[in-house]
Amino acid sequence: MKLKIGDPAPQFNATATDGGPIKLSDYFGKKLVLYFYPMDDTPGCTKQACSLRDHYQEIQDKDASILGVSTQDVATHQRFTEKYNLPFPLVADTDGAVSRAYGAIGGGGGGLVGTAINLFGVANRITFLIDESGHIAHIIDHPDTAHHAEEILKLL
C-alpha cells in the first residue's frame, strides 16, 4: 500500500549513525524530514546530503529535524557522515524494514537501475515530511538532489 498525505507515518525502531537506537516517536512534537536514498557516498546521494547539511540550520529554524535512511550499515553511515560533516543522523536500515514500511523499496521500475534496486534491496529516493502529530504532511517522489533542502524549505 502506497502512503499518502494524511496517513499516519509508519512507526519504526532502528539503529542510527552513532550505533544507538532511534525511533519515529523520538520526533513527535516536531516536524521530521525523513528522506530515503540509495547509497552513501555516490554522486546523487552526496549532493542530496550536502544540500540538507548546507541548509540544516534553516530547516531546524522551522522546527524540523532530518533523518536519512538507506539500507547500508552503521560503519558505512559513519564514514559518510564524517567525510561530509553531516549534522543529522542516518538510519542503518540493513534489513530494509523501515524502507519497506514507507514503500521505499520495490517498485524501482524497469531498466537496469530499477532491476538493481529491486534485486539488491536498495532504497528508492523519496522524502516524507512528517508533521508534529506523526502524519505524512508532504511526499517528494523525485527529489532534486542538488536543491533538495530548498524543496523542503518551501513545504515547511
45 is catalytic: yes
Classify burial at 110, counting beta carbons within 10 Å of its beta carbon; exposed 0-12, middle 13-18, buried 19 or more.
exposed
List 21's β-bridge partners, or say none: 15
Return the biggest CA–CA distance within the chain: 41
Among 22, 45, 129, 136, the one annotated catalytic: 45
Is residue 54 within 8 Å of 152, Cβ to Cβ? no
Q: What is the rounded distance in angstroms from the CA atom of residue 119 to the CA atom of residue 36?
A: 17
Joined grid coordinates for residue 134: 506523526
DSSP assignment letter at 109:
-
Rounded to 10 degrees, the C-alpha dihedral 48/49/51/57 comes to: 150
Joined grid coordinates for residue 21: 537506537
**Which are the catalytic amino acids?**
45
